[in-house]
Each structure stands twice: as structure tokens, then as C-alpha cells.
């Protein structure tokens, strides 16, 4: 007989990984009768082709992709309009045009996300069906192997003499034995098929979880987009009512605002994870961070304010709960190390709550740095502020860390495009170009524009 796959190894793997096989199963007898057993139960590896997408589904998918591309182009057009208008002198016409562009851009972004959600829903359904097929395939393969092992146990009780008597000619016995090598390989292939299908099933289940999480994330962002669009519409309407569409009236309003510098200085600047501070103090911190990094103060304020807005929506968490997942192990270790160096009790330090679509929360302080990222910037922050060790919950340290990261993402160039891209990278890293995160860049730039106007009033 040709040298083939070790029968003892095969039985051991079956017993260990799939079934609880009694130790009484003897590989010697199993070898003699394996061919007959295979023939009697018809055990052969099965190959089930995956169902391909129908032409209708493919056409719909192509249609959605084309519509998404068209929307992306229109959204980019409105982004250019906003950027151009913000470089113009402040007039009623200019500010109304900005409101109109932002509202239209928001409507397009909402439509874009609706299409993306449809794509995700379609992908979720396809993967759910695929997982069902894979699980059924595993079940069939296990049933076949189970039947085989039951027959092996029966054969194990048969003596060698009884086995030989089942053949009319001794040569038939050796012919069957010679064929056993190919049968062994077929059974090994089937066993490996189970392992492969198991691995594929786990991968599909993880992909399905991620797609469902992305769908939930998009729906949450969609709601924020609608709220922002409605606020822009209300602001535009209030502006038109106050000015009656007259530039002269608008300039009067601007003049009155400029006289109210004291109110601007005293206005509270909200910080997540730290006590709120007056706007004048926030501007002082932003200026200090700007001196060290070259990033525009109003832009730093915009990022910190947006992080506080998101932090308010996410809520305050606790490291034991929101960094409890196994995938958060490095963040958890870094968080404990940071608080230990600062002499702080980790149990009482506020962190961001884990979002329902992700694994980890744990973002810290006004800049909302995750622990491992904070540790990357710790030395740079200490050098810039003189605080050693620096604290993510200290406003100056947080503003400085934020400015350093924004600088590394290209914000020091100072252009609208460079700042918006830096903000998106601040939030999403390498995923910054995903349309789902565009809202963050838009929010930050709108806030930066607001704070720049206030800074201009204070510095006049």
C-alpha cells in the first residue's frame, strides 16, 4: 500500500476537534475496512457552489454606486462655494449664501447616507444568507463524519478472520487496500474543508458585525446632520427676519455685536471631561498652543468644541466598563499607566462611553485622546507646556496635544482644505475620506468660522 496520511493522526484530530471518539477505536482494523465503510455510507467530500448575485442585484448595486458618485461631486461643489464665500468680506448676501450652501450640502449628505445605508442593508442580507449556507455545510460534513465513526466502532468489533472471509478472492482484499490511499486523501480534504468553512464562517460573522455597526453609526450621524441642517435653516430665517433682507440692517447688527466684547469674553466654553472655562481663557490656551504649533487658534477651538459636542452625545463612561473588551487591552493598560503617573484614581476619571457600534470607549479630557495616542504625544506636550507628566484632563495640556496632532495632520498650512482634512484625520485617522465622517469636518470648520469672528471682535 502507498504511504498515505497517518490514520492514527486522523482519528486523533477527529476525536480532539470535532467529536468525542472513544479510545477503543483501533486504527489497525479501521485501515482494513475503511474502503468498505466509505462505500457503504457514501461519504465523499461535498462542494457547494456559492450562489452568485443576480443580474438585478448587480444592476441595482451599480446604480447606487453611480448615484453616490454623482452626489459626492455635488457635495464637493458646495464645499468649494462655502470655502470661497468664507474668504469674502462679511455681508448679508455672503452669509445667506453660506447658509444656503450648507443647507443644500446637508441635504445631499443625508441622501448620500441613505444610499450608503441601503448598500449596507443589502450586504448584510447577502452575508446573513452566506453564513447560513456555511453553517449548513459544516453540519452536513459533521453528520457524514459522525456516521463514519459510528460505522468504525461497529467494524472495530469484527475480527481479522471475519473480515478476510467477506472477500471471495484474497486479491480483491488487496485491491481495496491499494485504493485506500486515495480514499484517505478524500477524507482528509473533507476534514480540512470543515476547518476552512469554520474559519470562513467566523470571518463572515465578524464582517457582518462590522457592517451592522457601520449602519448604526451612519443612522446616528444622519440624525445629527438633520439637526444641524434644521438649525441652519432657523438661523437663516432669523437673520432674514431681523434684517428684512437689507444689507444696512445687517451691518447694524454686526456693529452691535462688536460692542458686546465683554459678553464674548465671559461666555462659557464647554469642555468634555474638565470644568467649563470662559471663552477668554479658552482663547488664551488656544493662542499658547498655536505659538508652539502654528495651527490657527480659531481652528483649535473648533476642534475642541466639536469634541465636547460629541462627548456630550456619547456620555461619560468608566474605564472598567468602556475598555473591558479584549480588543481594548492596550488602551486599558495605557490608561492605568497614565493615571498612575499622575497619581489619579482611574476609577473616578471620566472617559468617553463606548459607542454601540465599536469595541472601546476611553477617550480622555477636552481633546478626547485615546490612551495609546496620548502616550505617543506625552513627551511633546510636556516639552511644550512644562508639565511633566502632562495630564489629558488639564486644559492647557489638552489644547496643546490637540494642536500637535492637528499640526501633524497638516493643519498648519492654514487653508480651508488643509484644516478640514486635518480635522477629519483627527477623528478617523486613515478612514478620513469616508463620506460618513464628512459631518465632523464641516462642523469643525463652521465652529472655527464662528470663533474667528469672535476673535476678530476681541482683537479690534
Q: Which of 256-260, 385-389, 431-435 has the lowest mean pLDDT?
A: 256-260
As a 3-state breakdown, the chain gives helix, strand, coil percent values, each rounded to 5, of 75, 0, 20
Q: Which of 150, 166, 145 is nearest to 32 (CA)?
A: 166
Contact 446, 433 (CB under 8 A): no
Q: Percentage of the chain surpassing pLDDT 70?
A: 73
Question: Where residue 64 falls among pLDDT bands split at 50, 70, 90?
Answer: confident
Is residue 283 predicted with pLDDT exceeding 90?
yes
Which grid coordinates belong to 117? 445605508
Which grid coordinates belong to 286? 488656544
315: left (phi over 0), alpha (psi -120 to 50) or beta: left
**Helices and strands: H and E segment counts in the chain:** 16, 4
Find out whether the peptide bond into 150 is cis, omega within 30 degrees of 0. no
Mean pLDDT of 136-148: 71
Give, rounded to a whole angstrom, the gap between the first and last alpha carbons of the chain.
97
For residue 316, count CB atoms less than 10 angstroms from its CB and return exposed for 0-12, middle for 13-18, buried for 19 or more: middle
Question: Where residue 436 falls among pLDDT bands split at 50, 70, 90?
Answer: confident
Within 252-373, strands assigned E span: 268-269, 277-278, 316-317, 351-352
Task: Please report, for residues 315, 333, 363, 397, the alpha-carbon distance to residue 272 in angstroms, rounded to integers and kept in the order given.
Answer: 9, 22, 10, 14
Which pTM was predicted? Answer: 0.60
- What is the Cα–Cα distance from 175 to 418, expressed in whole angstroms? 76
What are residue 352's DSSP bridge partners?
316
Angle between helices 279-293 and 438-459 in degrees, nearest 10: 110
Task: Please report, for residues 29, 81, 98, 451, the alpha-carbon distance to residue 87 in angstroms, rounded to integers and kept in the order given.
Answer: 88, 10, 11, 15
Q: Evaluate the CA torsion angle 377, 358, 219, 73 in order and state its sign.
A: positive
**DSSP labels for 356-418?**
TTSS----BTTTTB-HHHHHHHHHHHHHHH--SS--TTSHHHHHHHHHHHHHHTTGGG-SHHH
Which pLDDT score, from 0 to 100, does residue 47 have? 45
Question: In sequence order, what are the residues at sequence separation of 6 or more whose Cβ sits closer than 8 angstroms to the Cβ of residue 60?
Answer: 122
Angle at 218 between CA 213 and CA 223, to 5 degrees: 130
- What is the Cα–Cα distance from 344 to 282, expressed in whole angstroms? 24
Residue 4: phi and psi, rounded to 5, are -120, -165
N residues, the chain: 460
Question: In sequence order, what are the residues at sequence separation of 6 or more whose Cβ sits closer than 8 angstroms to the Cβ of residue 385?
Answer: 396, 397, 400
26: left (phi over 0), alpha (psi -120 to 50) or beta: beta
Which pLDDT score, from 0 to 100, does residue 2 have? 39
Compare 230 and 285 and report the one with higher pLDDT.
Answer: 285
Q: Evaluate the CA torsion angle 287, 289, 294, 295 in order and state its sign.
A: negative
Query: For 176-207, how does the pLDDT look when each residue is reduced to its tens digit (9 = 90+)?
Result: 545 445 555 555 666 777 778 778 777 777 77
Which grid coordinates belong to 309? 459636542
Question: Where residue 231 falls among pLDDT bands split at 50, 70, 90?
Answer: confident
Which pLDDT score, from 0 to 100, does residue 92 have? 86
Distance of alpha carbon 110 from the chain centroid: 20
Amino acid at each position: 500500500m502507498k504511504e498515505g496520511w497517518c490514520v492514527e493522526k486522523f482519528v486523533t484530530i477527529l476525536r480532539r476537534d470535532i467529536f468525542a471518539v472513544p479510545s477503543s477505536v483501533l486504527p489497525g482494523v479501521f485501515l482494513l475496512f475503511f474502503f468498505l465503510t466509505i462505500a457503504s455510507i457514501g461519504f465523499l467530500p461535498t462542494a457547494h457552489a456559492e450562489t452568485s448575485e443576480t443580474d438585478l442585484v448587480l444592476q441595482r448595486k451599480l446604480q447606487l454606486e453611480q448615484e453616490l458618485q454623482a452626489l459626492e461631486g455635488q457635495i464637493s461643489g458646495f464645499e468649494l462655494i462655502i470655502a470661497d464665500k468664507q474668504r469674502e468680506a462679511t455681508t448679508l448676501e455672503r452669509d445667506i449664501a453660506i447658509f444656503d450652501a450648507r443647507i443644500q450640502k446637508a441635504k445631499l449628505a443625508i441622501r448620500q447616507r441613505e444610499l450608503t445605508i441601503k448598500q449596507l442593508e443589502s450586504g448584510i442580507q447577502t452575508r446573513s444568507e452566506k453564513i447560513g449556507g456555511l453553517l449548513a455545510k459544516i453540519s452536513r460534513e459533521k453528520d457524514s463524519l459522525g456516521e463514519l465513526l459510528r460505522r468504525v466502532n461497529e467494524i472495530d468489533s469484527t475480527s481479522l478472520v471475519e473480515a478476510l472471509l467477506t472477500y471471495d478472492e484474497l486479491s480483491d482484499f488487496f485491491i481495496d487496500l491499494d485504493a485506500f490511499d486515495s480514499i484517505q486523501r478524500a477524507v482528509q480534504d473533507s476534514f480540512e474543508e470543515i476547518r476552512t468553512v469554520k474559519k470562513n464562517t467566523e470571518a463572515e460573522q465578524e464582517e457582518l458585525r462590522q457592517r451592522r455597526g457601520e449602519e448604526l453609526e451612519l443612522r446616528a450621524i444622519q440624525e445629527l446632520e438633520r439637526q444641524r441642517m434644521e438649525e441652519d435653516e432657523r438661523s437663516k430665517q432669523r437673520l432674514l427676519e431681523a434684517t428684512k433682507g437689507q444689507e444696512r440692517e445687517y451691518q447694524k447688527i454686526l456693529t452691535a455685536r462688536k460692542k458686546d466684547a465683554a459678553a464674548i469674553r465671559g461666555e462659557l466654553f464647554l469642555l468634555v471631561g474638565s470644568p467649563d472655562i470662559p471663552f477668554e481663557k479658552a482663547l488664551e490656551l488656544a493662542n499658547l498652543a498655536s505659538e508652539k504649533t502654528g495651527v490657527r487658534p480659531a481652528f483649535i477651538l473648533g476642534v475642541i468644541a466639536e469634541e465636547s459636542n460629541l462627548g456630550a452625545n456619547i456620555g461619560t463612561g468608566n474605564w472598567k466598563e468602556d475598555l473591558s473588551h479584549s480588543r481594548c487591552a492596550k488602551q486599558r493598560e495605557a490608561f492605568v499607566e497614565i493615571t498612575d503617573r499622575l497619581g489619579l484614581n482611574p476609577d473616578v476619571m471620566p472617559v468617553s462611553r463606548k459607542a454601540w457600534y465599536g469595541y472601546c470607549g476611553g477617550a480622555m479630557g477636552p481633546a478626547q485622546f485615546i490612551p495609546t495616542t496620548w502616550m505617543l504625544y506625552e513627551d511633546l506636550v510636556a516639552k511644550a507646556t512644562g508639565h511633566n507628566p502632562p495630564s489629558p484632563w488639564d486644559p492647557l495640556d489638552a489644547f496643546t496635544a490637540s494642536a500637535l496632532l492637528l499640526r501633524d495632520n497638516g493643519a498648519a498650512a492654514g487653508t480651508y482644505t488643509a484644516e478640514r482634512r486635518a480635522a477629519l484625520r483627527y477623528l478617523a485617522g486613515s478612514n478620513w475620506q469616508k463620506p460618513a465622517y464628512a459631518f465632523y469636518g464641516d462642523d469643525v470648520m463652521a465652529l472655527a468660522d464662528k470663533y474667528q469672528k469672535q476673535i476678530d471682535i476681541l482683537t479690534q
